[in-house]
Amino acid sequence: MSSEVDFARLAEKLVGYDHAYLITVDAENRPHPVPVTPVLRAGTVYIGALGGRRSRANLARTAEVTVLWPPPAPGGYTVIVDGTAQVSGTGESAQVSICASRAVLIRVPTPESPRGTRCYNDCIDLSVSQREA
């Protein structure tokens, strides 16, 4: 698996974030978020012991996922990583490695927010090709 995300910068930005949500989609494309404690491992976002049968069923149907870390404090950045999941193991002990295709930090803009970003809100792109912020 080859990622398009700068994992060194992602690791730096995730200091202080203690949990996240793995978001899968069901057959009707409804999002299904579950709390997880991912770690960055060997260029992937790794989630051990996935648990939930709905998440496992959704991952069997489509490997496209999002991992969302809420800000640790009000006014902080939400970290969003999109990618392709690879499941190993079965049942509640199934583990997930996600090859990240995109990572962004985003928050509601403030007067101090940088201008000229590619999105409406205050955002920082963590792609390998991006070197801002």
CATH number of 81's domain: 2.30.110.10
Contact by Cβ (8 Å): 125, 101: no
Please check whether residue 51 lies inside any domain of the structure. yes
Residue 114 is part of which domain span? 7-128
Please check whether residue 65 lies inside any domain of the structure. yes
What's the pTM? 0.86
Please check whether residue 11 lies inside any domain of the structure. yes
Please check whether residue 2 lies inside any domain of the structure. no
Please check whether residue 133 lies inside any domain of the structure. no
Query: What would the pLDDT profile of 81-127 be if each residue is shown by its tens digit?
Result: 999 999 998 888 889 999 999 999 998 866 666 665 555 567 788 98
pLDDT of residue 124: 83
- Rounded to whole angstroms, the Cα distance separating 53 from 93 reads 11
Mean pLDDT of the chain: 87
Count of structural domains within the chain: 1
